[in-house]
């Protein structure tokens, strides 16, 4: 495995964060760019000397920050150039596939990068502008997003997961470990000593029981713990467990946690070092998946060449009134709705899982009674009216478990298939290196 395979074929966004904040174009670099030349012809495109030198400088800087050794100059240059050729080939394929990210998406990524650097969005943009690399950073982000999207699409279609593979995975020890839920446990301990008087231990037990009652009644474990740790009544300690699977938790309350619901508080749990109190703050994963679902239908109208925003709003209000006056929802949806996915079905959106719809729309749906028609509202796709037909809870555990297993298997195969795909596109390409 060569250096770039270990260090990463392309700069990751996290490494890019360091680069974009700490580098700027020097006069010497600008002079070299004026003397640019082609170092490789890649199908109908080229790799320039400036691209090669900039990429080498990026990797050298990030390797220094990570305290990672680099290969000898000649080998390092060859590996970076090979990586640029592969990147160029992928970008050509992405262009033919019309993979492109708009400015709003890039801004969201930059906002996340700003947060990771402890800056506000405007502060981060100003820092990039001050360094003279704002536009270069946007294009670097756009390129990385494009490559990731292309690889995800091209490689995933090569990966086939059979039902037998899923069964084998779920029955394996590895599968059981991967599929096991993770727990976020909050904790406090009222320590006891073997030499302390019985009445002191009893006082601590009673104090622990009071803390449990307070946490259960006030429904804010962290506030109760903070107050207890500042109180002079008895010493209170806490352990930060983070997200853990059951077998990674202390044996003392492993079984207790597995039987708890999110928000439950248990204790006092007696141990050799004192009385423990725990809360199951959150849970993720696992095979049990009870999902709230809503059966609904809607009519959506969007402004267009013959109907402006105001006319669209007036039209959706008119349709709502016609339904209230007795006209059928489905016929009106078929005749008027602009939602191609539901128009033939008379606006029927079928059963929607909780969390699957945009938050603003879901908030409106959750406030509706069964058979209630919403007031017209605006989303980023247009004007809507929605009617809730039914609600239910569905056990999707089997489907969820098998989907999760398939995803785990796909992730395990992804890197191998990515490498195979990159080899294939490289072998089929015309590449001419120019000294």
First to last CA, the chain: 25
Residues 274 and 316 grouped into a single domain: no
- Structural domain that includes position 131: 3-157
The encoded tokens of residue 75 equal 């080998």
Q: What is the pTM of this model?
A: 0.57
Residues 143 and 42 grouped into a single domain: yes
Residues 87 and 114 grouped into a single domain: yes
| CA atoms of 312 and 304, how far apart (whole Å) | 9
pLDDT of the residue at 28: 46
Residues 275 and 228 grouped into a single domain: yes
pLDDT of the residue at 17: 39
CA of residue 400 relative to chain centroid, distance: 18
Q: Judge whether 418 lies within some domain.
A: no
Residues 238 and 200 grouped into a single domain: yes
Residues 50 and 117 grouped into a single domain: yes
Name residues of the chain where pLDDT drops below 70: 1-35, 287-288
pLDDT of the residue at 4: 56
Give the domain CATH number at 191.
Answer: 3.10.50.40
The encoded tokens of residue 287 equal 């095979």
Are 170 and 400 contacting, i.e. CB atoms less than 8 angstroms apart? Answer: no
Q: Judge whether 434 lies within some domain.
A: no
- What is the number of structural domains in the chain? 3
pLDDT of the residue at 2: 55
**Count of other CB atoms within 10 angstroms of residue 97:** 13
Measured in degrees and rounded to the nearest 5, phi and psi for residue 360 equal -65, -40
Residues 212 and 124 grouped into a single domain: no
Residues 78 and 197 grouped into a single domain: no
Q: Judge whether 169 lies within some domain.
A: no
Give the domain CATH number at 46.
Answer: 1.10.4030.10
| CA atoms of 191 and 200, how far apart (whole Å) | 11
Q: Judge whether 413 lies within some domain.
A: no
pLDDT of the residue at 35: 63
Q: Give me the DSSP letters along 91-142.
A: HHHHHHTT----HHHHHHHHHHHHHHTT--HHHHHHHHHHHT-HHHHHHHHH
Q: Judge whether 171 lies within some domain.
A: no
Per DSSP, 69 falls in state -
Q: Judge whether 279 lies within some domain.
A: yes
Q: Which residue has the tokens 């962290």?
A: 222
* Domain-terminating residue out of 284, 307, 339: 284
pLDDT of the residue at 15: 35
Residues 260 and 327 grouped into a single domain: no
Residues 214 and 253 grouped into a single domain: yes
Residues 16 and 142 grouped into a single domain: yes
């Amino acid at each position: 495995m060569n250096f770039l395979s270990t260090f990463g074929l392309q700069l990751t966004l996290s490494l890019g964060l360091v680069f974009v904040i700490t580098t700027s174009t020097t006069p010497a670099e600008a002079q070299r760019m004026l003397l640019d030349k082609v170092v490789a012809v890649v199908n109908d495109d080229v790799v320039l000397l400036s691209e090669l030198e900039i990429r080498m400088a990026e990797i050298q800087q990030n390797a220094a920050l990570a305290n990672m050794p680099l290969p000898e100059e000649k080998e390092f240059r060859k590996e970076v150039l090979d990586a640029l050729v592969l990147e160029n080939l992928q970008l050509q394929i992405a262009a033919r596939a019309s993979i492109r990210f708009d400015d709003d998406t890039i801004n969201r990524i930059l906002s996340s990068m700003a947060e990771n650097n402890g800056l506000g969005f405007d502060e981060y943009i100003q820092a990039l502008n001050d360094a003279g690399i704002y536009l270069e950073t946007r294009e670097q982000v756009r390129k990385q997003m494009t490559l990731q999207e292309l690889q995800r699409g091209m490689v995933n279609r090569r990966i086939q997961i059979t039902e037998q593979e899923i069964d084998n995975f779920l029955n394996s020890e590895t599968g059981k470990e991967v599929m096991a839920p993770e727990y976020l446990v909050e904790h406090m301990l009222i320590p006891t000593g073997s030499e302390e008087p019985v009445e002191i231990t009893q006082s601590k037990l009673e104090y622990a029981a009071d803390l449990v009652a307070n946490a259960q009644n006030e429904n804010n474990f962290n506030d109760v713990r903070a107050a207890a740790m500042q109180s002079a009544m008895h010493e209170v300690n806490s352990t930060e467990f983070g997200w853990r699977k059951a077998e990674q938790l202390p044996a003392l309350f492993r079984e207790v946690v597995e039987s708890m619901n999110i928000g439950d508080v248990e204790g006092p749990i007696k141990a050799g070092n004192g009385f423990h109190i725990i809360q199951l703050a959150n849970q993720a994963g696992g095979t049990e998946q009870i999902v709230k679902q809503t059966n609904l239908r809607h009519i959506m109208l969007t402004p267009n060449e013959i109907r402006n925003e105001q006319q669209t709003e007036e039209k959706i209000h008119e349709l709502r009134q016609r339904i209230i006056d007795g006209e059928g929802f489905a016929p009106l949806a078929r005749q008027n709705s602009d939602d191609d996915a539901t128009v033939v079905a008379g606006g029927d959106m079928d059963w929607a899982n909780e969390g699957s719809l945009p938050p603003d729309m879901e908030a409106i749906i959750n406030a509706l009674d069964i058979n209630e028609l919403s007031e017209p509202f605006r989303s980023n796709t247009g004007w809507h009216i929605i009617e809730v037909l039914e609600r239910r809870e569905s056990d999707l555990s089997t489907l969820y478990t098998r989907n999760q297993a398939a995803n785990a298997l796909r992730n395990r195969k992804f890197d191998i298939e990515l490498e195979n795909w990159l080899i294939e596109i490289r072998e089929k390409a015309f590449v001419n290196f120019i000294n």
